[in-house]
Structures are given as C-alpha cells and as structure tokens.
Amino acid sequence: MIGLDTNVIVRFLAQDDEVQSPLAARLVSRLSRDSPGFVSLVVLAEVSWVLARAYKSPRAELSAAIEGLLRSAELKIENAEAAWRALGVYQASRSAEFADALIAEIAALEGVTQTLTFDRRAASEAGMKLLA
C-alpha cells in the first residue's frame, strides 16, 4: 500500500496540470483492491479545503468528490466511518465545512461528548458547541 498526499488527489480530481495530472491519473489507475492507495483524514480535510477555497468548487461538486474517494475500492480511507459521517453532516448542512464536520465526527467516535469551538458556523452546523 502506498500513501497519497493531498496534491496527488487534487491533481487527479482537477485534471488541471499538464505534467502532474497525467502522473496522478496513471498512479491511481494502477491501484487495486489488493494494492490500494492510502488516504489519511488529514488529506481528506485538505482536499476539501483546496477544492472549496482554491478551486471554488460548489458544495455539490465537493460532496461528490469526497464521496467518490470514499466509495473507491482502490483507496483505503483512514477511519472511513468518521469520514462518511462527516460527509453526511456536510451534505445535510448549507454552510458547514467538511473539515469541521470531520473534526466533530472523529471526536464523537472516540467518545467525546462535545467538541468546543469559537467558530459559530461549526457550532451551529457541524455538531460542535460554541465556547463562550
């Protein structure tokens, strides 16, 4: 198994670089269920941030990209349960950030009763509690 960094995933999804995108696509095409690529939760959070901020991807497009990664038999996603739960929160919300939902869901799966934040949006949309 090999690990995949954020920039490899982004180049694969965006197909926007003449040199790096074909390399990323070729790498991903060689992955299999028996020899998958590993995607950490940090990478998923970074991918969501890059797609939303740098690429201005709409929520539906970002959701589809994350879901595609999660459904891929050629990828092993770290703590996939937390990622799926975070995706559900993200899809049900109009403004929650995927990364905030991921933080809250990882914590919940570890038995945390509440995740505190100063971010009002994360508190109202991503399942965190505002620290006031």
Instruction: Kindly state whether residues 74 and 114 are assigned to the same domain.
Output: no
Is residue 51 located within the same domain as residue 106?
Answer: no
pLDDT in tens, 62-114: 999 999 999 999 999 999 999 999 999 999 999 999 999 999 999 999 999 99
Under DSSP, is residue 22 helix (H, G, I), strand (E, B) or coil?
A: helix
**In the prediction, which pLDDT does 72 show?**
97
Q: Which pLDDT belongs to residue 132?
A: 87
On whether residue 60 sits in a domain, the answer given is yes
Decide which of 50, 78, 106 is a domain's last residue. Answer: 78
Of 78, 106, 122, which marks where a domain is finished? 78
56 in any annotated domain: yes
Query: Is residue 89 included in any domain, yes or no?
Result: no
Q: What is the pLDDT of residue 114?
A: 95
Q: Provide the 10 A C-beta neighbour count for residue 8.
A: 20
Number of domains in the chain: 2
Residue 84 belongs to a domain: no
Task: Please give the residue range of the domain that contains residue 106.
Answer: 94-132
Please check whether residues 47 and 105 belong to one and the same domain.
no
Q: What is the pLDDT of residue 82?
A: 98
Note the pLDDT tens digit of each residue in 24-75: 999 999 999 999 999 999 999 999 999 999 999 999 999 999 999 999 999 9
Q: Where are the alpha helices (DSSP H) in 54-92?
A: 59-71, 80-92
Residue 114 lies in a domain: yes
Asked if 116 and 73 sit in the same domain, the reply is no
- Does residue 63 belong to any structural domain of this protein? yes
pLDDT at 8 exceeding the cut of 90 = yes
Same domain flag for 39 and 99: no
Pairwise CA distance, residues 109 & 56, whole Å: 30
